[in-house]
Structure 1
């Protein structure tokens, strides 16, 4: 959903006569922590199975990635988009932290899916179910998925930061 939000924001920015080149003018303090967080999350979700690590290491890596991500989001809180990204990150962190480092996913009736290590099928014992991936975006949408309330905050935050950046002049 994040990629679609970025693409949509850039398209709308161009329609509004914004410039992608202006993205270089936006100043985000501690931006490198965002990259470190994404690398940690990728390591946790994609590679801990290959590295034969135990669930505790997966959990610590995954939760740490969110905590590290919160640092630049909070430092840059003056931008409304960063506040929305912070809220979305916290709303996603809660069910992940309470469900062994995995985001529960509620599949609509009749759908089957396979999950990466960062996701798990929601059950009756799922904690913070309301914050889990429970909002289906199905066909005719070209990239069907199930998202969370936190994902919506993240999407709007990313959309706004790109809009802001495309019109920011230095």
Structure 2
């Protein structure tokens, strides 16, 4: 979902006359921490590939750390366009995952809508068997079910999946950020204030 959102944002930014090069000039704070939650999430989603027993044993803690870092990164970068959506989405996902023991609940109905038969059966069996360290099937005991993965994204969506309200907010925030960072076509010689800057002109 996020990759599709980023690609769409780049396409919109390009149509508006923006430049991808400007994305690299974003005044990001604590950017060195960004890979940490991504690495932790990858390790939890593919524990057999890292061969580290403590990843399985500490899955709940690692999941909490990953999402807590995403919330912190979103908040320290609240000066950027779209940050409100990024903060809200990160908090929503962190809240529902923490409330359900470190795993994101997933609606079986949403899986049926989004996936093909074979993919659907495999996904449901994996979640029902407790084989996932990051997700579980949504059930009567699920807390905050309205924040869980309940939104199906079937084809023609380029990457069929199931998303949460938090995911949607994050996707909107990312699109806003990328489009704003790319800027628009402007008259030659006219200075462009950096995204998140003060925009002060010369005296």
Q: Deviations for 1:71-120, whole angstroms, at most 9, x for unmatched residues?
A: 22111212241221111011011111111211110022854324542111
Map of 1:163 onto structure 2: 179
2: CA distance, partners of 1:72 / 1:63? 14
User: After alignment, is 55-64 or 90-99 more displaced?
Assistant: 55-64
Indicate if the aligned counterparts of 1:45 and 1:58 stay in contact, CA closer than 8 A: no
- Name structure 2 gaps, 5 residues minimum: 113-119, 185-191, 195-203
1:13-162 to structure 2, matched below 5 A, reads 13-47=13-47, 50-53=51-54, 57-108=58-109, 110=112, 111-112=120-121, 113=123, 114-115=126-127, 116-162=132-178
2: CA distance, partners of 1:142 / 1:40? 26
Indicate if the aligned counterparts of 2:44 and 2:55 stay in contact, CA closer than 8 A: no
Taking structure 2 as the reference length, the TM-score comes to 0.76
1: CA distance, partners of 2:150 / 2:169? 15
Larger Rg: 2
Taking structure 1 as the reference length, the TM-score comes to 0.89
Q: Tell me which stretches of 4 or more aligned residues in structure 1 moved more than 4 Å.
A: none
1: CA distance, partners of 2:51 / 2:95? 26
Change in 2 beyond 3 A, CA 1:97/1:17: same
User: After alignment, is 138-147 or 93-102 more displaced?
Assistant: 138-147
Count how many residue pairs are aligned between Structure 1 and Structure 2: 170
User: After alignment, is 59-68 or 41-50 more displaced?
Assistant: 41-50
Root-mean-square deviation (CA, aligned residues, Å) is 2.1
Indicate if the aligned counterparts of 1:131 and 1:150 stay in contact, CA closer than 8 A: yes
Map of 1:6 onto structure 2: 6
